[in-house]
Amino acid sequence: MQILGVDIGGSGIKGAIVDTLTGELVTERLRIGTPQPATPEAIAAVLAQLVLHFNWNGPVGCGFPAAIQQGVVRTAANISKSFIGADIDKLFSDATNCDCHNLNDADAAGMAEMHFGEGAGQAGVVLLVTIGTGLGTALFTDGNLLPNTELGHLYLENGLEAERYASDAARKLEDLGWKSWGNRFNIYLSTMEKLFWPDLIILGGGASKKFDKFKTQLAVNTPVKPAAFLNQAGIVGAAFYAKSKVI
Ligand code: BGC
């Protein structure tokens, strides 16, 4: 089954048609810059553009950077606060004339990794952390997702919110080298390890491509792997999620 998968981020909105049996992209990826201000209506208009570009009239799955309950946005750490309370399943479906199914972006990336990537066949507890503007998390037990874990907002023992201390945005903002940022990220992963005892940690998002530059700083006992899907995890996972809503 083919589904249009979309990854909605703070700087870009990316989409492609996905074969949900294999996890492969059937088309090229299209990226449209996130409109500013990124209001619900402006994002809905970009989705309509994507649907038109792919000449699509089937289901759509969207990964969105917030906690989402039954299509309603509950948080807004790095997006316009005007999203809070918005029913984006309805808003995006109305704007595109397609059935749109939204889930948290890190949960989407995690679903792709669990079904087609580094987490495939992995029993026990798997924690996926996406490292980007925010720190996103997806938590699985025996392949089942506990949705909307917002563990990037946890406060560390140093009193700082993890996302502000150890995200890729913090690295850029404070102009940190990969090793000193890696030391910070190690504090975050060690905290996660102590609290959740995962059997495997998967790192996704932009910074995971630089895994070789900071892996020596990671001192956790849990095996840590960079995600198999780099740019595509959100798109593939969102499409996979939408499939589960359709059939
Ligand atoms: C948001 C999460 C999101 C993560 C990655 C965080 O700021 O609260 O919902 O998954 O950023 O985009």
State the distance from the centre of ligand 1 to the C-alpha of 101, rounded, in angstroms. 18
Instruction: Round to whole Å and give the CA distance between 121 and 235.
Output: 21
Which distant-in-sequence residues (6+ apart) come within 8 Å of 213 by Cβ? Answer: 178, 179, 182
State the distance from the centre of ligand 1 to the C-alpha of 225, rounded, in angstroms. 20
163 lines ligand 1 (CB under 6 A): yes
State the distance from the centre of ligand 1 to the C-alpha of 3, rounded, in angstroms. 24
130 lines ligand 1 (CB under 6 A): yes
Take residue 14 and report the two structure tokens written for it: 């990316």
Question: Which domains are assigned to the chain?
Answer: 2-107+233-246 (3.30.420.40), 122-227 (3.30.420.40)
State the distance from the centre of ligand 1 to the C-alpha of 215, rounded, in angstroms. 23
Determine if the pTM surpasses 0.85. Answer: yes
150 lines ligand 1 (CB under 6 A): yes
Residue 227 near residue 52, CB atoms below 8 Å: no
According to DSSP, the residues that pair with 64 across neighbouring strands are 104
74 lines ligand 1 (CB under 6 A): no
Q: Whose CA is nearest to atom 4 of ligand 1?
A: 136
231 lines ligand 1 (CB under 6 A): no
Work out whether strand 144-146 and strand 200-204 pair parallel, antiparallel, or are unpaired.
Answer: unpaired
Instruction: Round to whole Å and give the CA distance between 143 and 122.
Output: 7
Long-range contacts of 184-188 (CB under 8 A, 24+ apart): 185/131, 185/214, 185/217, 185/218, 186/217, 186/218, 186/219, 186/220, 187/156, 187/157, 187/158, 188/129, 188/135, 188/156, 188/162
Instruction: Round to whole Å and give the CA distance between 44 and 230.
Output: 25
DSSP string, 85-128: T-BHHHHHHHHHTS-EEEEEHHHHHHHHHHHHSTTTT--SEEEE
Take residue 219 and report the two structure tokens written for it: 């001192």
Instruction: Round to whole Å and give the CA distance between 50 and 36.
Output: 17
Instruction: Round to whole Å and give the CA distance between 30 and 219.
Output: 38
Instruction: Round to whole Å and give the CA distance between 77 and 167.
Output: 13
Digits of tens for pLDDT over the chain (247 positions)?
999 999 999 889 999 999 999 999 999 999 999 999 999 999 999 999 999 999 999 999 999 999 999 999 999 998 999 999 999 999 999 999 999 999 999 999 999 999 999 999 999 999 999 999 999 999 999 999 999 999 999 999 999 999 999 999 999 999 999 999 999 999 999 999 999 999 999 999 989 999 999 999 999 999 999 999 977 999 999 999 999 998 7
58 alpha-carbon distance from chain centroid: 22
Take residue 180 and report the two structure tokens written for it: 């000193």
Which amino acid is it at 184? Answer: R
**Ligand 1 pocket mutation pick from 7, 72, 74, 78 by most atoms within 8 angstroms of CB:** 78
State the distance from the centre of ligand 1 to the C-alpha of 149, rounded, in angstroms. 9
